Amino acid sequence: MSKVAGQPPLSNALIKVVDLLVESEIRIDAMEQILVKTNPVAYELYLGTIENLRAQEGAELKKVLTVRLSQNLGKAKGERGSSPRMPAGARASTFVSS
């Protein structure tokens, strides 16, 4: 990425992070190509691992979004009525009102 003089330090830091991510992605792609050619069985295991990690990440994201939605709905109900609010950092599944 090109850098423009006079940018704030946060912007420069963000540019550096993006540059590092792009560089890492290029290296990973190159290593994948080497793995495909040298050991197709290991490459298949690698792909399976990546798929499992993506599925796990998706499940975790769904759980977090569900908790946030239930918290937001609880807040909306609390504004209309007198239902108890969930403490910050508490999980929806573990919260018990007293």
Within-domain flag for 2: no
Same domain, 44 and 69: yes
| DSSP letter, residue 87 | P
Same domain, 71 and 53: yes
Within-domain flag for 45: yes
Q: What is the mean pLDDT of each run of 10 residues along the chain (98 residues)?
A: 64 92 95 92 92 95 93 79 52 44
Which amino acid makes up residue 35?
L
Per-residue pLDDT at 74: 83
Alpha helices, DSSP H, located in 1-98: 9-38, 40-80
Per-residue pLDDT at 11: 87
Per-residue pLDDT at 97: 42
Same domain, 13 and 34: yes
Per the structure, the complete domain to which residue 65 belongs is given by 40-75
Within-domain flag for 20: yes
Within-domain flag for 55: yes
* Contact by Cβ (8 Å): 84, 70: no
Same domain, 34 and 55: no
Per-residue pLDDT at 9: 79
